[in-house]
Every structure is written in structure tokens, then in C-alpha cells.
Amino acid sequence: MFLPIYQALSKEQKDINPEEFIEGFRVFDKDSNGFISAAELRHLLTALGERLREDEVDQLLAGMENGQGLVPYE
């Protein structure tokens, strides 16, 4: 899951470490199962740091959310 987001960010910042990127997702993985809430991820991507637009988040998350509203990051 993290690959599209990682690729988009790494185009702008060459020093992004993929392991650190995954570790950042683990902070929000309440069940430690490799999934985070799609709603929470959407909020993070649109509200924190370099904010993405809703359409950008829609594109990143397209087809990634499972039937329980979770997105895999590992």
C-alpha cells in the first residue's frame, strides 16, 4: 500500500527511507496487524504536513481499502 504514497513523496525528497516511512504508519496501526483505518489515513494525508488534496488522496487510495475500511501498509 505505501508504495504509491512513497513514490509520490520520494520524487520531491530523495532522502526518504522506506523503512522510516513504514514505521510512521505503524504508529497508527492500533492492532499491529499491518492495516490502518482508511478514514484516519485520509485525515493524515489531508490535514498534516504537506497536505494532499482530496482528489489526490482518492487516487492514492483507489482500490486499496478492504471491506472493513482498512488499508494495508506492509
pLDDT at 52: 85
CATH of residue 26: 1.10.238.10
pLDDT at 16: 66
Range of the domain at 19: 2-72
E strands in 5-73: 35-37, 70-72
Grid coordinates belonging to 68? 472493513
The whole-angstrom separation of Cα 35 and Cα 1 is 9
Count of domains forming the chain: 1
pLDDT in tens, 1-58: 555 565 555 555 556 677 877 888 899 899 999 999 999 989 988 998 878 899 988 8
Cα distances from 37 to residues 11, 14, 16, in angstroms, run: 25, 28, 23
